[in-house]
Amino acid sequence: MMSMQSIYLLIPLLPLLAAAIVGLANHALPRWYAHVLTIAGVAGSFALSVMVFLDVLQGHTYNGTVYTWLVSGNINFEVGFLIDQLSATMMLVVTFVSLMVHIYTIGYMHEDAGYRRFFSYISLFTFSMLMLVMSNNFMQLFFGWEAVGLVSYLLIGFWFTRPSAIYANLKAFLVNRVGDFGFLLGIGMVLYFMGSLDYATVFERAPALADSTVSVIPHQHWSLLTMTCLLLFVGAMGKSAQVPLHVWLPDSMEGPTPISALIHAATMVTAGIFMVARMSPLFELSDVALSTVMVIGAITALFMGFLGIIQNDIKRVVAYSTLSQLGYMTVALGASAYSVAMFHLMTHAFFKALLFLGAGSVIMGMHHDQDIRHMGGLSKYMKITWLTSLIGSLALIGTPFLSGFYSKDSIIEAVKLSHLSGSGFAYFAVLAGVFVTAFYSFRMYFLVFHGKERWRDLHHDAHGHDDHDEHHGLAPDQNPHEQPWVVTLPLVLLAIPSLAIGYLTIQPMLFGDWFAQVIYINQEAHPVMHHLAEDFHGASAMAIHALTSLPFILALSGVFCAWLFYMQMPQIPAAIHQRCRPLVAILENKYGFDSFNEKFFAAGSRLLGGKLWQTGDVTVIDGWLVNGTARLVGLLSGVVRRLQSGLIYHYAFAMIIGVFLLLTLFMKV
């Protein structure tokens, strides 16, 4: 029997090993090695994660250092694991979704030239994400944080010959840099003021600093912890795509669909949520930070949902839905309902991965046409995809008894109970978001799976070329077909938790003592969870009660509107489109974030860079300093060499002068 410590070590290392072998050997190994090795690695770490989870259920947690990288002064840079309920849950989610995506990829990528590279990347991603969640210190957290960012960058630009993919991965990279800069500053503040990078030590020392202030600008005193928390949250905003750092996530859909499911929906983007939950002892000490978190989350939840309504690319609809759901989680964090956020994170991981993989299956069925306006009636041809996508959509909109219902309803209740400033707006936003979510989800569902088979009316020009990477789509006389088992099996396996996991785990996760040791809540200041528990009378009772509640009615009306607009009377959306031109324009421009960034930040920094290059580099540095020095030295050199006249009496004279010089300087009579 292995010791638990070596199991902990194996969990991240198995995928790393697989990634290294597949990535480095690349074409030296047969193609099937790529998926066999990586799936074996991830399956191994999933199995071990289950073991660890069961062990944690017994109450065995672990916090220890595995390896000391370097010691500098009093600061230790270490690799260490903190295995508790929080990380065990995340490990389970990450490895399970990752395993599903690995299997699915066999089908999705089987024609792609970068097959091995892709498997290597997603295994590397699994390693990085596990390092992030298992960390017991900020240094390793940051390592994992950056590593997942790197893999995400590589995967968004996976099809690196497409200009749009390169644009998208650069954008993701730059926007994340903004977030990571804040995050790094936050870590720097933690290190500077608390003198440690170790979670436990930092959390222990934090309460003593609750009243300290720092003054960054003279005469301005800011609360130390508020500032630290806000900076850390900037990191979370980047990674978890909160307004205004959300702009990269929709574009990240340029990557292959499996990674949209794994990285940009289920796991990596939730790293910010996980991080804030992990830092609950810090965030609990600052009401300002919590309010900010809540408001930012509420804005993201509602306004990104609106954008989902007007998207026509199937993956972008799901992407905006992800943004909106991440907003929900953030709102829960702001309401001090960390466990609810984690709960939603978990349920969302399952149904959103399901929706993405379903979308991928549809895309394959449509021969890589992603426009939902070209689809319709697919339920006839792709039964499993249809059913599982329906389950995913129902879970997403919060149908009672399904997993999304429990988590989302808990969030809405928690916000309702919160008394922090901004909670009123947040409550409105999450409530309105329910309708919006239902509307865009079922708009997509109806357009894809029901109604007319619209691709038959399309005129395809230049069809039949065999470049897999290009969007081409179905010919009018072709039928979409269901995908092989490697694609449908993950759909089915993900549909099961999407249906049931909420019902099964709400009791222990939210109201039991599952997270009690891990997440710290200041009960007196933020009694949200306490009140929530008082109102909870079992999972079934909650679902039945919800049938008469406002959120359910909103969701139902959202579905009804979508059915009415897109199935029965397609003239209504067209009419709205006509009447509300300015509103539609705002939505189509995504509130102008992109063009603002493009015009202000991108053009501004290009302008600044150009000016600095012109004046600073070309004129001052190159012109004066570099070439100027060179010219001066050359000139000097030409003069000095003339001193070497070749005449011996000049030489002797120089020596005598030298002696005189020394004598005059050093003789003190």
Nearer to other proteins, 24 or 633 (CB): 633
CB of 631 to other proteins, least distance (A): 12
Q: Measure the CA–CA gap between 570 and 634, rounded to whole angstroms.
A: 80
DSSP state, 208?
G
DSSP for 100-161, written as a single string: HHHHHHHHHTTT-TTHHHHHHHHHHHHHHHHHHHHBSBHHHHHHHHHHHHHHHHHHHTSSTT
Q: Phi first, then psi: give them for residue 52, nearest 5 degrees.
A: -65, -40
CB of 645 to other proteins, least distance (A): 9
Q: Measure the CA–CA gap between 660 and 648, rounded to whole angstroms.
A: 19
272 close to 236: Cβ distance less than 8 angstroms:
yes
240 token code pair? 């978890």
Nearer to other proteins, 544 or 626 (CB): 626
CB of 628 to other proteins, least distance (A): 13
Nearer to other proteins, 160 or 660 (CB): 660
Nearer to other proteins, 2 or 661 (CB): 661
Burial of 482 (0-12, 13-18, 19+ CB in 10 A): middle
330 close to 300: Cβ distance less than 8 angstroms:
yes
Nearer to other proteins, 607 or 661 (CB): 661
CB of 655 to other proteins, least distance (A): 5
Q: Is 378 helix (H, G, I), strand (E, B) or coil?
A: helix
Nearer to other proteins, 3 or 637 (CB): 637
CB of 658 to other proteins, least distance (A): 4
Task: Name the nearest CA neighbour of 340 among 517, 495, 532.
Answer: 532
Number of residues that this document lists for the chain: 669
Nearer to other proteins, 208 or 659 (CB): 659
353 close to 97: Cβ distance less than 8 angstroms:
yes
Nearer to other proteins, 516 or 654 (CB): 654
CB of 632 to other proteins, least distance (A): 10
Nearer to other proteins, 54 or 652 (CB): 652
Cis? peptide before 476, omega within 30° of 0:
no
CB of 664 to other proteins, least distance (A): 10
Task: Name the nearest CA neighbour of 57 among 23, 24, 22, 84.
Answer: 84
Nearer to other proteins, 544 or 625 (CB): 625
Nearer to other proteins, 464 or 646 (CB): 646
Nearer to other proteins, 478 or 645 (CB): 645
Task: Name the nearest CA neighbour of 233 among 304, 185, 267.
Answer: 185
Q: Measure the CA–CA gap between 564 and 561, rounded to whole angstroms.
A: 5
CB of 630 to other proteins, least distance (A): 8
Write 569-577 long-range contacts (CB < 8 A, 24+).
none
Task: Name the nearest CA neighbour of 253 among 275, 270, 237, 269.
Answer: 269
Nearer to other proteins, 462 or 639 (CB): 639
CB of 73 to other proteins, least distance (A): 22
Nearer to other proteins, 216 or 639 (CB): 639
Could you give the angle at the alpha carbon of 644 between the alpha carbons of 650 and 647, nearest 5°? 40
Query: What's the distance, CA 656 to chain centroid?
Result: 77
Q: Measure the CA–CA gap between 464 and 253, rounded to whole angstroms.
A: 25
Nearer to other proteins, 614 or 644 (CB): 644
Nearer to other proteins, 163 or 646 (CB): 646
CB of 620 to other proteins, least distance (A): 18
Buried b (16+ CB within 10 A) or exposed e, 112-150: bebbbbbbbbbbbbbbbbbbbbbbbbbbbbbbbbbbbbb
CB of 661 to other proteins, least distance (A): 7
Nearer to other proteins, 582 or 646 (CB): 646
CB of 649 to other proteins, least distance (A): 9
Buried b (16+ CB within 10 A) or exposed e, 234-265: bbbbbbbbbbebbbbbbbbbbbbbbbbbbbbb
Residue written as token pair 């406002």: 550
CA dihedral 653, 655, 658, 659 (to 10 degrees): -110
DSSP for 334-359, written as a single string: HTT-HHHHHHHHHHHHHHHHHHHHHH
CB of 633 to other proteins, least distance (A): 6
CB of 72 to other proteins, least distance (A): 21
472 close to 460: Cβ distance less than 8 angstroms:
yes
Q: Is 413 helix (H, G, I), strand (E, B) or coil?
A: helix
CB of 639 to other proteins, least distance (A): 9
Instruction: Provide the binding-site residues for other proteins, judged by CB under 8 A.
Output: 629-630, 633-634, 636-638, 640-641, 644, 646, 648, 650-652, 654-655, 657-659, 661-663, 665-669
Q: Helices marked H in 240-337 — which ranges?
A: 248-251, 257-261, 271-278, 280-283, 287-310, 314-334
Residue type, 548: T
CB of 430 to other proteins, least distance (A): 59
CB of 69 to other proteins, least distance (A): 23
